[in-house]
Amino acid sequence: MSLSKDEIKRAIYHCVKCKLCSIATFHPQEAWSPLCPSGTYFGFQAFYAPGRMEIFRELLEGEIEEPTEGLLNAVFACTLCGACYEKCRRVSKVELPLAEIFEEMRREIVRRGWMPDAHRGIAEKVKRTRNAYGEEEAFESENLKPTKGADVLYFIGCTARFRVPEIADAMLCIFDKLGVEYQVLDEEWCCCSVLMRAGWHDSDIVREHIRHNYDAICESGAKTVVFTCPGCLKTLKKDYAEFGADFSKEGIELLHATQFIQRLMRERGLDVKELPLKATYHDPCHLGRDLGIYEEPREVLSAAVEISEMRRVREEAWCCGSGGGVKSAFNDFAVWSAEERLKEAEETGADAIVSACPFCKRNLRDAAKHAGSKLQVLDVVEILNEAL
């Protein structure tokens, strides 16, 4: 993050004097809808944006000398979804990069050696196995048919490799069906998105993984890197550049799978059959609010199924609850947030809730199982693979 300490303090003082985001929602609907998953679930001011900003002020001014469970909960039980930023930007007309500031606060706390045990465990797994889940076995799939030196490289990501491999399999099948030659990294290491969201930017683990992935991709000769994980895409596109690993300077394009597929659909006029499925689309926070990718997934999805939109979409979308290290450290909260999203999806009469993020699929699926929901939970690439 490039903000100075003085810039952060100015943002803090503005935010704590406003507090509008914690007392009103500003959603453009007649019905009242909550804005912040964390504040709504935990119910205390410390879990809303202004409360966290006050905590950061106290940290910077030396008023907090020892960590407590309450402090760590308030700081880390936030998905960094960016909904508070959207409301702040639209209503107060002030550009406060709240998610980035909260990430910087976590960075300050981790520098002091304070962090949830769950995040310390992830760091240990990443260091030991090069993936966030501590899996010892490499990713394998009968659909994996890479071509060494191909112009397109598929960066699979930890979650699609080890928790929702059906997403990776669908993408591999799409490459095959469309006749797209692709390669994968011989040694794909964790992008370290989760660790950076949890404040581990300054660790040797993160810096080592950035350098490895950057060098491996540059040396691959690929001109385009495709991601089915928005977290990986955001991390390599935005965060890596802050560490001097800027792919744009190497002429390498980074695209989400839906952007890549949309381009092929427009260039080739793909033969996509219509499926007898009514779907509603869930905007992932990293893909939508962080990267501004809203239309491409909808265009790809609508080629195969009928879409019925939820009340809160695009910039207004309710977070699935999985991001920012929340799924690992606060699973009950994560599943609750996803259950709230499922209720909204069910209101549309859809057969399936479809996203474009492995984290979203995993958490929404957990919530559907917990709540006994009959909704199918799918990814856009799964739908398209079936429709091709």
User: What is the reported pTM?
Assistant: 0.93
Q: Which CATH class is domain 274-387?
A: alpha beta
Residue 7's nearest CA partner among 94, 91, 92 is: 94
The CATH architecture that domain 152-265 belongs to is: 3-Layer(aba) Sandwich (3.40)
356 with 257: CB under 8 angstroms?
A: yes
How confident is the prediction along the chain (388 residues), in pLDDT tens digits per residue? Answer: 566 777 777 777 677 777 677 666 566 666 677 889 999 999 998 999 989 989 998 998 889 988 899 999 999 999 999 998 888 777 766 777 889 999 999 999 999 999 999 999 999 999 999 999 999 988 889 999 999 999 999 999 999 999 999 999 999 999 999 999 999 999 999 999 999 999 999 999 999 999 999 999 999 999 999 999 999 999 999 999 999 999 999 999 999 999 999 999 999 888 889 999 999 999 999 999 999 999 999 999 999 999 999 999 999 899 999 999 999 999 999 999 999 999 999 999 999 999 999 999 999 999 999 999 999 999 999 999 999 9
For residue 313, which of 20, 27, 26 has the smallest C-alpha distance? 27
Domains 152-265 and 274-387 alike in fold: yes
* 278-281/224-227 β-pairing: unpaired
Token pair of 86 as six digits: 């959207």
Domain layout of the chain by residue ranges: 5-114, 152-265, 274-387
Q: What is the DSSP string of 353-376?
A: EEES-HHHHHHHHHHHHHHT---E
> For residue 79, which phi and psi values (nearest 5 degrees)?
-80, -5
Separation between Cα atoms, residue 1 and residue 155, nearest integer Å: 24
Query: By the 8 A CB rule, do 236 and 225 touch?
Result: yes
